[in-house]
Amino acid sequence: MADKTIMLVCASGMSTSLLVSKMKKAAEEKGVDAEIFAVSASDADANLASKNIDILLLGPQVKYMHKQFEEKLAGSSTKLDVINMQDYGMMKGEKVLTEALEKLN
């Protein structure tokens, strides 16, 4: 089992797949043991119920759901953040990973 579990949420779960790949590569290069995966907003609840998520990152296209997820995560140890739009658009996996790990510390 990975030390950290990072779940990215986007509209369909597809657009973040490239970012996830880049984050996984950055984690490997940094020696970070992390499970990083993307799901659609509609599949997020099932994953929150079945996995121990350390941080949930919302894609910029679903940042309007921040309040909903804040309420769902109330009382849990799962952190919540929105991925920076420029970092998302330019697929800066290393930067997104670094910021997620900083939130966890």
Please indicate, yes or no, if residue 68 is contained in any of the structural domains. no
pLDDT one-digit tens code per residue, 65-100: 999 999 999 999 999 999 999 999 999 999 999 999
Residue 7, pLDDT > 90, answer yes
Name the catalytic one among 6, 7, 9, 10: 10
Query: Are 4 and 35 spatial neighbours (Cβ–Cβ below 8 Å)?
Result: yes
Q: What is the CATH number of the domain that holds 46?
A: 3.40.50.2300
Please indicate, yes or no, if residue 34 is contained in any of the structural domains. yes
Range of the domain at 2: 1-59
Please indicate, yes or no, if residue 3 is contained in any of the structural domains. yes
Please indicate, yes or no, if residue 81 is contained in any of the structural domains. no
Please indicate, yes or no, if residue 82 is contained in any of the structural domains. no
User: How many residues appear in the chain?
Assistant: 105
pTM, two decimal places: 0.95
Please indicate, yes or no, if residue 10 is contained in any of the structural domains. yes
Q: In what order do the strands lie in the sheet with 34-40?
A: 34-40, 4-10, 55-58, 79-82
Number of domains into which the chain is organized = 1
Please indicate, yes or no, if residue 15 is contained in any of the structural domains. yes
9 is catalytic: no
